[in-house]
């Protein structure tokens, strides 16, 4: 049961033995309740631990909204992009041939030029250029924020600038910024999808919760995200959100089923985590039981 001494003490000891724990929360598609789950377990765990929640859904970060908080402590983030020095360029095209993103264009007998929105900032062109004609330029891609939610819970948020097409470098910047915050438990709320920006968010996770819903689309996207997590060789479990909205019944690797409950919907719209708005009710168990079940602390 929630808050009972024995279980909490056991968890506490294990976390302290381990030093810290990184939990990934993901989902194949948007709108499955991934952020709701991440926010609620963060809030719950912050009653006992120092928790850092990283909102790595950089195209559409919304964890702060679910806490009714304004983002604070903005830092503008920039990344490397190549800058060509045509005085040194011998038009060898090595930069273009080695750019896996096709971000460098060269016309016959012309100099290379950059399509900046395609550049992933990998620096390969910079490294392969034989004449050092590529210099280090930079561009802003978005902002990171550090917002205190409560005395034990800090939210680190990454937000891509409008018009930027590359989530991956922004996720890396967000994870870097999060290193400023010390915590016993880190929870990473990833973007939807299965791209390299999601893989980057989950890279250090020791356990992953894949949040889905029991719809045909939910099943399809769950399969995709499971493939990615398995490829990354991560321990993972499935959390079914809005259980009961269809006849589909997902069973495999399911650790928790959060039923469709109007109280959770209400807490969402009011910007208060359900575990706070309905403290000491069955709502808490929906979010706490998966954590207790999995023995997170006994890797």
Interacting residues toward ligand SF4 by CB under 6 A:
82, 84, 89-95, 99, 101, 103-104, 112, 114, 119-125, 129, 131, 133-134
Q: Which is nearer to ligand SF4, 71 or 200 (CB)?
A: 200
- The least CB distance from residue 107 to ligand SF4, in Å, is 12
Q: Which is nearer to ligand SF4, 18 or 91 (CB)?
A: 91
Calpha distance 23→82 (Å, rounded): 35
Q: Which is nearer to ligand SF4, 101 or 206 (CB)?
A: 101
Contacts of 221 (CB under 8 A, 6+ apart): 27, 28, 29, 32, 212
Distances (CA, A) of 206 to 25, 57, 131, 151, 168: 11, 19, 43, 25, 20
Q: Which is nearer to ligand SF4, 15 or 119 (CB)?
A: 119
- The least CB distance from residue 139 to ligand SF4, in Å, is 11
- The least CB distance from residue 97 to ligand SF4, in Å, is 9
Q: Which is nearer to ligand SF4, 95 or 172 (CB)?
A: 95
- The least CB distance from residue 57 to ligand SF4, in Å, is 23
- The least CB distance from residue 168 to ligand SF4, in Å, is 11
Calpha distance 21→187 (Å, rounded): 8
Q: Which is nearer to ligand SF4, 121 or 212 (CB)?
A: 121
Q: Which is nearer to ligand SF4, 107 or 269 (CB)?
A: 107
- The least CB distance from residue 91 to ligand SF4, in Å, is 5
- The least CB distance from residue 83 to ligand SF4, in Å, is 10
Contacts of 54 (CB under 8 A, 6+ apart): 155, 156, 157, 158, 174, 175, 178, 186, 187, 188, 189, 201
- The least CB distance from residue 130 to ligand SF4, in Å, is 6
Contact indicator for 63, 39 with CB cutoff of 8 Å:
yes
Q: Which is nearer to ligand SF4, 44 or 94 (CB)?
A: 94
Q: Is 162 exposed, middle or buried (0-12, 13-18, 19+ CB in 10 A)?
A: exposed
Calpha distance 66→49 (Å, rounded): 20
């Amino acid at each position: 049961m929630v808050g009972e001494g024995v279980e909490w003490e056991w968890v506490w000891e294990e976390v302290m033995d381990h030093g810290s724990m990184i939990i990934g929360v993901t989902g194949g598609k948007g709108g499955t309740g991934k952020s709701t789950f991440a926010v609620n377990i963060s809030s719950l765990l912050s009653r006992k631990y120092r928790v850092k929640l990283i909102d790595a859904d950089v195209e559409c970060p919304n964890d702060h909204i679910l806490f009714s908080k304004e983002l604070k402590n903005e830092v503008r983030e920039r990344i490397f992009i190549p800058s060509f020095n045509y005085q040194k360029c011998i038009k060898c095209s090595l930069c273009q041939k080695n750019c896996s993103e096709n971000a460098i264009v060269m016309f016959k007998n012309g100099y290379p030029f950059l399509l900046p929105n395609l550049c992933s900032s990998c620096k390969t062109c910079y490294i392969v250029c034989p004449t050092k004609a590529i210099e280090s330029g930079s561009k802003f891609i978005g902002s990171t924020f550090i917002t205190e939610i409560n005395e034990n819970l800090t939210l680190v948020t990454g937000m891509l600038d409008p018009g930027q097409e590359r989530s991956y470098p922004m996720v890396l910047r967000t994870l870097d910024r999060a290193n400023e915050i010390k915590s016993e438990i880190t929870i990473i709320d990833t973007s939807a999808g299965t791209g390299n920006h999601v893989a980057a968010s989950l890279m250090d996770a020791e356990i992953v919760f894949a949040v889905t819903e029991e719809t045909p689309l939910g099943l399809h996207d769950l399969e995709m995200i499971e493939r990615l997590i398995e490829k990354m060789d991560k321990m993972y479990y499935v959390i079914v959100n809005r259980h009961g909205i269809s006849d589909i019944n997902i069973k495999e690797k399911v650790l928790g089923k959060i039923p469709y409950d109007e109280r959770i919907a209400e807490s969402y719209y009011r910007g208060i985590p359900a575990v706070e708005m309905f403290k000491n009710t069955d709502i808490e168990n929906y979010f706490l039981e998966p954590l207790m079940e999995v023995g997170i602390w006994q890797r």
